[in-house]
Structure 1
């Protein structure tokens, strides 16, 4: 029987087949040492299904999207506003954002801030933007 480029003989082939048989049948890891098994996913890892990321349970896709948008706005504002600006009013925020060439969506959101209010930090700015001008403090 011609074995071609196989480096092992028929006896070693059968031995290797026997060693892998349990693994192939079980579909699980057969290593005794814990270090050889893959690490299980953490609780805060993003779950991914066949079609992409899995939305949070309970159909809260819209809430997750809103939270993501809020966090994105917070990061953009923090990136374009230095701490020395605060406390700041609406016009100071707009002037600083324009001076730092903030993107248009961030400027548009800041234009929705109510007049006459002062903001101590970016979190207060985002909260005021989410409330809108009709619910100003």
Structure 2
């Protein structure tokens, strides 16, 4: 028993399969997933090209009271302090950072923390290192 469409003839089935070939097979096989009229137009002669990352300070992602560089640096610090180390004092944080293969600058910063203080969060550690955290809005 031959399987095929019961609504169309073989000629129409072939035509329909060619129309969707680009969607089914991908762009490497001669067809494109995007129709020409849907492609973005290139920038004009006197206009800069489009980029995914704007130059300068990023407009999103930085809370009030912090720059995007501060957010990135605090995030980097937090990558080497696991939740099992918190709450913890200077010695516990330094040991945890070393266990997580923290770079020398992170370990050195943690070694500068005051002795005898327990830190509950990475934000508290960040503030104890002399940086500012985001400000709350009231």
Higher relative contact order (CA 8 A, sep 6+): 2
TM, length-normalised to structure 1 = 0.46
Greater percentage in helix:
1
TM, length-normalised to structure 2 = 0.46
